[in-house]
Chain A
Amino acid sequence: MDELDIFKEQWKKEEQHLPHLKFEEIYKMILKRSSSAVKWIFIISILELVFGLAVTAFWHPSFEQDLEIPPVAEWISWAVFPLGIYFIYRFFSNYRLINTTSSVNELLTNIMKARRTVRLWIIINLVIAGVGAMIMMLSALIDQKGGWDAFTAEASLTDYFIIFGLSAGLTLFIVTVTLAIYFLLYGLLMRRLNRNYKELKKMEL
């Protein structure tokens, strides 16, 4: 008989030391609001989904009248809307599967799935914003030199390198920093869930 089996005997006797709540006390509890992690994940996810769309809707480059934007950048930015609707649909269909009567493994897996949808949406948004910014930056730089034709006529390999390298480098830097901050915040929220999810997955190996 090992320690745990001895403990099992004790465990049963322990019942008499447990607190006992009265009917009214439990009744009061069912009227209170939940503060579960899933509820917070839901609220934050909705904010993230809306955020991506709101940025495009309110700060769309085409609203800046004096700014000439290349058509490619404009197409990409409008593509965010149908994509956003698709992601909202995917998030809700995943979220609906989150159910406390599932097994622990199933519940954690479904929470992770819903979160991954939102995470992918944020990454796509940042990449689109990054590519958009890069194209804008490039076109602004080239405009300064008197347009594409004038630029190509006299540009040396170093000029190309500087202009493209500068835009790409700067964009990459901003996107990476934003992503790092995002993952840090996201990691804090999901720390416990991630840990338990990993633990269960490890057991399946």
Chain B
Amino acid sequence: MTKLLKQPTLNVKKDLEHEFVQQLEANQNIVHKICRIYTNDKHGHNDLFQEITIQLWKAYPKFRGDAKFSTWMYRVALNTAITLYRKKKRRPDNTDIEAVAYRLQADAYDDAQEQQLKLIYEAIKQLNDIEKALVFLYLEDKNYAEISDTLGITEVNARVKMNRVKNKLRTILNP
């Protein structure tokens, strides 16, 4: 009897896991892009990706499909990057090698435009966590209503701050 009762719950859990992993696999670019902005090396990238995945999975039962999976992901993933993620301490020699390897990978494709891309990446890395979130959502083509909703600030404040961030980026890029 207990066996009969237990079986369906086990299947439901498996189904949920499957469904979740499938959705995340299809939308993983969002998480990779956040990791790119918020971390400096491959280790950091992997750690943050791992933590975001766990947080997404933990929050998944509350996801009722009332929004698109990807829209819902932005919130949880950014929240993890901004508030929940703790940089792990590593032996410095390791990190250095990894950082170089990571940069080399980024250098692999470079012509004039890619060079520009790299510069802007570097500039974004100099922004603070909240500013990075603003830029990220802007780059992802989110409108100000969505940006203000994700960050929990008013639309007016989001616009004002966005303009300031653009100016800040301009100053970093053209000193």
B139 near A21 (CB under 8 angstroms)? no
A residues bordering B, Cβ < 8 Å? 2-4, 6-8, 10-11, 14-15, 17-23, 26-27, 29-30, 32-38, 40, 99-108, 111, 192-193, 195-196, 199-200, 203-204
Tell me which of B62, B117, B128 contacts A195 (CB under 8 A).
B128
Tell me which of B24, B84, B149 contacts A100 (CB under 8 A).
B84
A193 surroundings in chain B (CB, below 8 A): 83
B49 surroundings in chain A (CB, below 8 A): 21, 29
Output the least CB separation between B32 and chain A (Å): 4
B76 surroundings in chain A (CB, below 8 A): 100-101
In chain B, what residue has the closest Cβ to A17?
B109
Knowing A18-B33, A100-B55, A101-B76, the reply to whether A10 touches B113 (Cβ < 8 A) is yes
In chain B, what residue has the closest Cβ to A40?
B86
Which residue among A7, A23, A38, A102 has the maximum number of chain B CB atoms within 10 Å of its CB? A7
B83 near A20 (CB under 8 angstroms)? no
Knowing A18-B29, A18-B33, A29-B50, the reply to whether A200 touches B84 (Cβ < 8 A) is no
In chain A, what residue has the closest Cβ to B157?
A203
B17 near A27 (CB under 8 angstroms)? yes
Which residue among A26, A34, A200 has the maximum number of chain B CB atoms within 10 Å of its CB? A26
Output the least CB separation between A171 and chain B (Å): 37
Which residue among A2, A8, A15, A107 has the maximum number of chain B CB atoms within 10 Å of its CB? A107
A101 surroundings in chain B (CB, below 8 A): 59, 62-63, 72, 75-76, 79
A32 surroundings in chain B (CB, below 8 A): 50, 54
